[in-house]
Structure 1
Amino acid sequence: MSQLYASLFYQPDVTAIFSDQALLSYMIQAEVALAKAQAQVSVIPASAATLIEQIGQSALAKIDVDALAIATGLAGNIAIPFVKQFTAIVKQQDEDASRYVHWGATSQDIIDTATILQCRDALALIEKQLQSAYDISLQQAERYRDQVMIGRTWLQQALPITLGHKFARYAAALQRDLERLQAMKDRVLTAQLGGAVGSLASLKDQGSAVVEAFAAELKLTAPECTWHGERDRMVEIASVLAIIVGNAGKMAKDWSLLMQTEIAEVFEPTAKGRGGSSTMPHKRNPVAAASILAAANRVPALMSSIYQSMVQDHERALGAWHAEWLAIPEIFQLCAGVLERSNEVLQGIEVNADAMQRNLDCTHGLIMAEAVMMALAPKIGRLNAHHLVEQACQQAVAQQRHLKDILAQMDEITAQFSVQQLDEIFQPASYLGNIQQQIDAVLQAAQGASK
């Protein structure tokens, strides 16, 4: 990603985790953990592991990144030239210790394990962002629980809801995202160590012991068996991130539509230089929504690559594994950027209550047609009530009059309702169903989760 666009689509801390320098650091961490694990079960000398660990602490500064980039294109993966450079760095200080660098491992072991370490650290940041979005949504659900607005289906005015109900729905989705993230951690944050074909034959009878020690060193789950060709763990991580992006995209779609000039019910927070136009001084564009919706458009395409990469050949794959190297970091970075922008808007959203009331009134009572029908149905039957109210709606539209005025002149209506009763039926706040109970349930679920 160009640095010119990074502030629009990414989040700097997660971007740093997936930088070239960070990847090399994680690979060094994996190599050091491997040596220490092998020393614990006497596969390599303890003195060699100690030296590899000591040298590893400063090895990053000695890596020739430019040479590594060139060599990677020739070798087919970054681990092969990396191991050569790291071994040479160790050899400069101790030739005996250098013999035990990368002992019994294969390139994919180091790359996969480094990737999992990246994922773990990035998921921790994303979880904090997600928790923040959830907490803010809960606060806004409570704050706006009584702010009546029109609900829309198929982009048309439908029935009254409250803004708090929208936020409660967002919060409920974000809570599910948090649960998904938590549920997968032990399953997906797993070390990779299998050697050439997954058998660790080079470690003789110590393979399983080394895997356990290796995972423990890195504070990762130890796998039952190698997973070089089974990529469901990586797919699950990416899938959860894609769901998070999709949920954020739904929120952004909502507020971008509500920002339309003719609706003007909510607005993204203002800031100097934000949301303007290069030619139209009056414009106030939903720039955060644009960034989020762009990511929500991009991530499914990346997920297609990830899903296709599950179909791998034999013990270690050609090409399919490689496709993850570009897609996984991009999905992480886009997800973090989406959450950063979502938090900004959720926290600072500007609400125009007058516009909400104006839009409730703009159909001249037609949005309350179902309320009238359901109040009338027990008295004359649902089908008869529907037919009667439908006729009244058609007349109101044709005559450009308020629906209540039309109904107040119909004998079938006045026989059933007083003027006061009809006025009460036409109050949007009187036809909100169980919205308040739903908001309460979302808030109570949050309280229960925090105990």
Structure 2
Amino acid sequence: MHSDIAKRFSDRLFVQAMLDFELAIIEVREYHSLIPAGILQQTKEALAIDLFDIDDIEAQTYLGGNAAIPFIAQAKALLPQEIKPYFHQTVTSQDVIDTAMMMMLKPALKRINDDLLDVLQACAILIESHRTTPMAGRTLLQQALPITFGVKASQWAASLIAVMQNLTQLEHSGFYLQWGGPVGVSNEENEHHELPQQVATLLGLSLPLLPWHTNRQPIHALASGLDACAGAMENIVEDIALMCQSELGELAEPAIEGMGGSSSMPHKRNPVLCALIKTATLRMHGHLSVISNTTAQPFERALGQWHASWMPLMEGVALVAGAADYLKTLLQGLQVYPERMAANLDLNSDAYLVEPLKRHFLDRQERIYPLIEQASQQAHREHKGFVQTFFEITTELLVDDSDNDSNELAILLSPLTYCGAADRQCQLTLRAIETIISNSLSINR
């Protein structure tokens, strides 16, 4: 969980968000002369955040089922008698809770999106650096045909790109004002003066078509977007953790002092960043399940479903934010070992090289074909690379080959010959990353 984000979800800041919403309503109602002039200033002076007893609000929350009720009671107790009637006008507690939560979550999603841009940049560096680094493609956890590490990193980036577009849209237009009053039909006076739009603008939120007291699609959209992001990050660390295994040794997490050690086995270097990210993503999947089960809500205010959704969403945001931050650290410092990738690939390279070799040596099949079979069997028996073994066996026979034949053989044995359109996929991904980063810079200017 991201510690900075968790701190931003403190009780004190939640009370401040509820207060900011109430003050915004007073501001626009006063501007349109719906309440006497000067009420806003008097209210601000009377309701400084330090005057609230945060612990008491927390302790009293269970009595009404939400924190807005004791907050409003404290606020009215602090206000001078003559201005109390103007506080919390045309509002209900769900308006206060939902809007305050949206206000708190929006900056957190921006933090996630910013970190994901850094993750994409780290992917771009890996892709560019390893477009021609061959490695084993693996299906059902077994070696299949060659790919490149660049195209693997491209797949990582592609999964993130797929979810980032939605998360960016949510950041800019998916956090909604809630202001429907007691049963969600709003207030004619407020609507006549377009006050909801003005309050939404003041708070940096979007205006919904209608109040969404029991239409919880905004909450479900946020949770679904976060869970999709969690899945994309989980996919990346699954690959990395497996490639960090001692038996493969193709990758290693960044060398961070004090991280990755074992209490009883000092020789170990555990993929702790992968574990932290995986843990966060699994918990986000669980939170989405809770939120999905609270999406259908009866009548004009639900019993339990509304109350059950906010904590999973807030914790989910903090978890995904932490995972994105860890993933940035992981990919920016990822240690790549191309020689281990090549060696592991060669252990089963006969699977795709035997037939091309036989075609190449068709005119010398009586001498070479048996040696190809021998190299295959010996490589597996001794757990050695097929190409390495083939050359050891045939060195003397191939020494008189012409330069053209040697060059042709080198191309035939190169894993890159069998990597399909991997390099094209790398180029496509690099262009997509460049476009996303460029668009993001334009938006933030």
TM-score range, shorter chain: 0.7 to 0.9
1:117 corresponds to which of 80, 103, 109: 103
CA distance in 2, matches of 1:445, 1:393: 45
Residue 306 in structure 1 maps to residue 291 in structure 2: yes
Q: For 1:13-57, what per-residue CA distance to the aligned partner results, in whole angstroms no more than 9, with x for missing partners?
A: 21122221221111111111111122122222231122223444x
- Corresponding residue for residue 143 of structure 2: 157
5 Å-filtered alignment, 1:18-417, equals: 18-56=9-47, 58=48, 60-89=49-78, 91=79, 94-200=80-186, 203-207=187-191, 209-363=194-348, 365-369=349-353, 372=356, 396-397=376-377, 400=380, 402=386
Kindly state the Cα deviation for residue 135 of structure 1 after the two structures are TM-superposed.
Answer: 1.2
Deviations 1:216-256 (A, max 9, x none): 22122222211100011111111111111111111111110
Contact 1:49 1:97 in 2 (8 A): no
**Mapped partners of 2:354, 2:178: distance in 1:** 59
Flag the structure with more relative contact order, 1 or 2, with Cα contacts below 8 A and sequence separation at least 6. Answer: 2
Q: Deviations over 1:46-87 (max 9, x none)?
A: 31122223444x2x2121122112211111111000111122
Shift of 1:205: 3.1
The alpha-carbon distance between structure 1 residues 444 and 101, as it changes in their structure 2 partners (threshold 3 A), is: same
Mapped partners of 1:448, 1:112: distance in 2: 35
Give 1:12 deviation, angstroms: 2.1
Q: Deviations over 1:351-390 (max 9, x none)?
A: 1222112212222x324249739x96xx9xxxxxxxxx9x
When residues 104 and 370 of structure 1 are mapped into structure 2, their CA distance, relative to the original with a 3 A threshold, is farther
Instruction: Kindly provide the CA deviation profile for residues 183-203 of structure 1, in whole angstroms up to 9, marking residues without a partner as x.
Output: 234542110100010113xx4
Give distance in 1, aligned partners of 2:373 and 2:138.
Answer: 18
Could you tell me how far apart the structure 2 residues matched to 1:395 and 1:330 are? Answer: 56
Distance in 1, matches of 2:424 and 2:260, equals 37
Local SS of the residue matching 2:38 = helix
What is the CA-CA distance between 1:425 and the residue it aligns to? 2.2
1:436 maps to a residue whose letter is D
Does the CA-based 8 Å contact 2:233-2:277 persist in structure 1?
yes
Determine the C-alpha separation between the residues in 1 that align with 2:343 and 2:256.
Answer: 27
1:308-349 deviation line (CA, Å, top 9, x unaligned): 111101111110011112101110011011011101110001
8 Å contact from structure 1 (residues 41, 206) kept in 2: no
Q: Is the 8 A contact 1:265 1:351 kept in 2?
A: yes
Would the aligned equivalents of 2:120 and 2:433 in 1 still touch at CA under 8 Å? no
Q: Is residue 432 from structure 1 mapped to residue 423 from structure 2 by the alignment?
A: no
Q: Which amino acid in structure 2 is aligned with residue 272 of structure 1?
A: E
Q: Residue 262 and residue 317 in structure 1: after superposition, are their counterparts in 2 closer, same or farther (change >3 A)? A: same
The residue that corresponds to 1:6 in the other structure is none
Q: Secondary structure at the match of 1:358?
A: helix
- Residue 205 of structure 1 aligns with an amino acid whose one-letter code is E
Q: State the SS of the aligned residue for 2:33.
A: coil
- The CA distance in 1 between the partners of 2:227 and 2:73, in whole Å, is 36
- The unaligned stretches of length 5 or more in structure 2 are 363-368, 395-404, 440-445
Q: Distance in 2 between matches of 1:371 and 1:28?
A: 74
Q: For the structure 1 residues 297 and 206, does the alpha-carbon distance in structure 2 shift closer, same or farther, using more than 3 Å as the test?
A: closer
- For 2:402, the equivalent position in structure 1 comes to none
Q: Distance in 1 between matches of 2:256 and 2:90?
A: 56
Match of 1:384?
none
Question: RMSD of the TM alignment (CA)?
Answer: 2.7
Any stretches of 5+ residues in structure 1 without a counterpart? 1-9, 380-388, 409-417
Instruction: Provide the secondary structure at the position in 2 that maps to 1:335.
Output: helix
TM-score normalised by L of structure 1: 0.85
Partners of 1:370 and 1:205 in 2: CA distance? 81
- TM-score using structure 2 length: 0.86
Preserved CA contact (<8 Å) 2:69 2:93: yes
Deviations 1:170-194, CA, capped at 9 Å, x for gaps: 2222222221112234542110100
